[in-house]
Chains A and B, each alone.
Chain A
Amino acid sequence: MAQVAHASDRRRLFALLSPAYLWLTLAVFLPLSAMLFFSVLSDMPGADGGWGLTLGNYAAFLENPTYSTLLWKSLKLGATVTFFCVIIGYPCALVLAKSIRGRSREALFLLVILPFWSNSLVRIFSWAIVLRGNGVLERALNWVLPFDIRLNLMFTTEAVTIGLVHSYLPYVILTSYLALQAIDDDILDAARSMGASKLTILRRLLLPLSLPGLLAGAVLVFVPVVGSFMEPRILGGRMGTYYGTVIEDQFVAVYNWPLGAALSFILLAVVLVILGAASPALRKART
């Protein structure tokens, strides 16, 4: 990597970076700063007149055990979903990148991405039809199996996990595929000719070299899942209360933006701390 020393480098750096970050500043950072400001207000300005500065909204998180319980539940959900996305998605990417050649690979690759382009709400409702009692899955299984089974998957944590894994799986497949596909086949051939077993090649070459892609995918899954509220609400039923849904309630059910915003920033901070804590360990795993 080049150190920025020359003025020409600095100019180029600025030209490349500024469009993206100016855009993000205008559309995300400044609006979110306004929210950050809201999060330290005691009351919404304009609603009842008086308002002041306070950290009470952050203290509410500590005082009310509901929030930390739910944040923990959401983090566990994020970890579970990420885990399944990785163990399902990575082998898939491996097969696509290293075992299938030519036109059929492109076709399959596109097939993996396409479901992503359908509306998420329609997808969730379609899952509901598949999973619900006496729904399609149960009927299909009872038709195949000789004995009667009742799965009762709908309105459970499993249903939420299935829906979320489905929504986020393409991220892991895609980013892992990109990293795997960039690995030169000559290296693998060389290793093979030196007698390395398939497992060794996977463990010592493919996995370390494609780790940045796999991690990028995992992050793109974990981070949004922790704050998700749509899938839990629709598929989780009585079990579907998560951190994301209580934030939503603060905005939608009661006009308490300060608390809603404070809860969101706590979420952001926790997620960043987790990613920060995980990164040295992961970097170590790479070498």
Chain B
Amino acid sequence: MKTRTSLIALTAVALASAAHADEIRVLNWQGYGTDLDWSLEAFEEATGHTVVHEYFNSEQEMLTKMRTNPGAYDVVLINAAYTTQAYDEGLLAPIDTSAIDNYAGVPANFAEDPALMHEGKVYGVPWTWGLTAIAINSNSFDEAPTSIQVLWDPAYKGRVSIRDDAEEAVHLGALATGQDINNIEDLDAVEAKLAELMPQLRTFWSSENDWNQFMAAGELDVASYWSGSAARSAGMGLPVDFVVPEEGAIAWLDGLSIPETSEHKEAAAQFIDWMIDPEFYVQWDEEGAPASANAEAAAALPDDAFNKRVLGDPDVAALARFRAPMDDETRETYLALWQSLKAAQ
């Protein structure tokens, strides 16, 4: 069994470097897989390394923290859309994937993502992926909608929500106007489409917390949402169904990277190996996880798991539109567009 051997291998590595116990500092979103107590205990038992966390609340903040605190972090979660920027600023160290046994399970389409590989070296190990699409209150729909246009449906006026995020809003607008999210040719059309959406909205959401509370309080019928979060909300008993519309869905890939200034690069690689381990993933998925970028981990899931049943469906995979890196100028254009729409309310 692959997982067993990898765990044994990991333990052996740990024993070989016996007494060399490091404190690994991880920079991630809170409650996003790396900080599960049971996993960290097992990791410490296997390797001797302890893990300390620091959290960020936005990608920009993550970059700022890396820039201003050299040496403070050993493993950082970076959305692939930002990895190139971090690499260009010299913040990242190349990762020796030969030390990461489970890396072999990562399929080429993720592993060789141009955002994660630079000059033949790996700067981010693909960890998880997911979709940003829509989720519905299943009590409000007899039949699940198939199109993203449901957000604009007057029948749900005042019962709709999207995230307060310029990029995501523009991407949704692009999907709804039939454009490529990474190469929007008619931004005016997107703006007009979003302007039509505004009166439909009950509120914006900004976190899973908001989303769950609004949905639980019966404020919403349909809202944009993340696949992993939808699975988790449904798992917690909310009447939520995740819908991948026929126009496509925004897809994202999260990787784990090691900062250039890390002082515990070996231990960091061990931790990354642990994080893409199928055995860990299957257990994590029981609590609600995003899809794993490790094909072996994804295959190890039970058949009824959301991440296998929905995201494992080839039809769904065909609808995924992965976010490409974005330059600052485009990002600021989107923000200005979004702010002017919001200010007009």
Contact = CB atoms under 8 A, between A and B. Distances in A.
Do A and B bind? yes
A238 B343 contact: no
A254 B328 contact: yes
Contacts of B345: 238-239, 241
Interface in A224-244: 233-234, 237-241
B343 A70 contact: yes
A154 B203 CA distance: 9
B63 A255 contact: yes
Contact of B202 (A234, A238, A251, A255): A238
A111 interface: no
Interface string B75-108: 0000000000000010000000000000000000
A69 B345 CA distance: 11
A132 B217 contact: yes
Interface residues of B, number: 32
Which residue among B64, B164, B213 has the maximum number of chain A CB atoms within 10 Å of its CB? Answer: B164
A273 interface: no
B204 A253 contact: no
B342 interface: yes
Contact of A249 (B202, B204, B218, B335): B335
B281 to A, nearest CB: 30
A238 B223 CA distance: 14
A47 interface: yes
Task: Give the contact-size bracket for chain A.
Answer: 20 to 34
B246 interface: no
A48 B218 CA distance: 46
B336 A241 contact: no
Contacts of B339: 66, 241, 246, 249
Interface in A25-68: 46-48, 64, 66
A119 B58 CA distance: 22
A69 B219 contact: no
Nearest to B166: A253
A134 B218 contact: yes
A168 interface: no
B212 to A, nearest CB: 12
Contacts of A249: 166, 335, 339
B196 interface: no
Nearest to B60: A255
B198 interface: yes
A254 B204 contact: no
A13 interface: no
A179 to B, nearest CB: 39
Nearest to B56: A252
Contacts of A237: 201-204
A133 interface: yes
Interface in A247-261: 249-256
B287 interface: no
Interface in A91-150: 125, 128, 132-135
A233 B89 contact: no
Nearest to B336: A64
A69 B341 CA distance: 12
B89 A47 contact: yes
A238 B201 contact: yes
Nearest to B340: A66
Contacts of A240: 203-204
Given A133-B218, A233-B164, A254-B331, A66 B343 contact: yes
B185 interface: no
A237 B343 CA distance: 12
A46 B89 contact: yes
A255 B64 contact: yes
A120 to B, nearest CB: 16
A252 B61 contact: yes
Contacts of B202: 155, 237-238
Given A155-B202, A255-B60, A47 B166 contact: no
Which residue among A73, A237, A251, A256 has the maximum number of chain B CB atoms within 10 Å of its CB? Answer: A237
Contacts of B204: 237-238, 240
Interface in A153-179: 154-155
B328 A48 contact: yes
Contacts of A256: 328, 332
Contacts of B164: 233
A111 to B, nearest CB: 29
B109 interface: no
B165 interface: yes
Contacts of A241: 339, 342-343, 345
B139 interface: no
Nearest to A44: B328
A258 B217 CA distance: 40
B67 interface: yes
B183 interface: no
Interface string B37-78: 000000000000000000001101101100100000000000
Nearest to A155: B203
B67 A251 contact: no
A57 to B, nearest CB: 12
Interface in B180-224: 198, 201-204, 206, 210, 213, 217-219
Contacts of B60: 251-255
A64 B340 CA distance: 9
A63 to B, nearest CB: 11
6 contacts: A134-B218, A237-B203, A241-B343, A249-B335, A254-B335, A255-B60
Give 4 closest A-B pairs by Cβ, nearest first. A237-B203, A241-B342, A252-B58, A66-B343
Interface of A: 46-48, 64, 66, 69-70, 73, 125, 128, 132-135, 154-155, 233-234, 237-241, 246, 249-256
Given A253-B335, A255-B64, 4 more contacts: A48-B328, A134-B218, A254-B332, A256-B328
